[in-house]
Amino acid sequence: MSTYAVTDVANYFINYYRKSLDPMNLPRLQLFLYFAQAESLVRNGTPLFRDEIRAYRTGPAVTRINFLYEEAGNSPIEMYGKYDESIFAKSDLSMLLDVAVYYNKFSTTELTIMSFTRGSPWEQIYTRDPTHVSTIDNDTIRTFHMDLPRIPSFMDVMLSSLGYSGLSSETVAFNEDESATKVYTSTEMTDTWE
């Protein structure tokens, strides 16, 4: 429920996918930032980061991130500055993990199409005038995404994959000796991919 520097949020996604077969590139990162901002606005009623999202020809994007990574294009990108996951509140970290897991099942093209859908904030704001790039305000993003189905939590996805589809993510899982099951942070999870 805090507001973070957009570079810290970007670093979360870059770090999360750094050892995967499909590391983060600039177009994909911009879409993850857009969907994370939308999720924060819907769940918490507050933005995840202060930087404006603008309606570029290629889709919703944060100008500062374009500036930092413009030379990378579609190549994998590295984190900007130092990354410290401990700056995130637990609820925000959980939300970022939900976004990372849910939206990763879509290709960058599919994510772009999702952001361009009829009535979307980008579609409402985008102008074909190349000399003018409009800001997509947070109220427009929130209003549009409030009417869409919620993304599942990471825990719901994991429980479902194990055959426990009737359980809620708020249900505490126990193992045979009835001690609470360890829930891994995204850093611990990505470290196991090596």
Digit-by-digit pLDDT tens for the chain (194 residues) are 689 999 999 999 999 998 888 889 999 999 999 999 999 999 999 999 999 999 999 999 999 999 999 888 888 898 788 889 999 999 999 999 999 999 999 999 999 999 999 999 999 999 888 778 999 999 999 999 999 999 988 887 777 777 776 555 443 444 444 444 444 444 444 444 44
Residue 95 included in any domain: yes
**For the chain, how many structural domains are there in total?**
1
Calpha distance 194→129 (Å, rounded): 46
Residue 157 included in any domain: no
SS3 state at 164: coil
Residue 108 included in any domain: yes
Full-model pTM: 0.81
- Which range marks the domain in which residue 46 is found? 6-150
Residue 14 included in any domain: yes
Which is nearest to 64 in space by CA: 35, 26, 93, 100? Answer: 26
DSSP 184: -
Which is nearest to 28 in space by CA: 85, 107, 83? Answer: 107
Residue 65 included in any domain: yes
Residue 173 included in any domain: no
Which is nearest to 18 in space by CA: 100, 111, 86? Answer: 100
Q: Are 115 and 31 in contact (CB under 8 A)?
A: yes
> Would you state the structure tokens that stand for residue 38, as one six-digit string?
């939308």
> Would you state the structure tokens that stand for residue 151, as one six-digit string?
């993304």
Residue 155 included in any domain: no
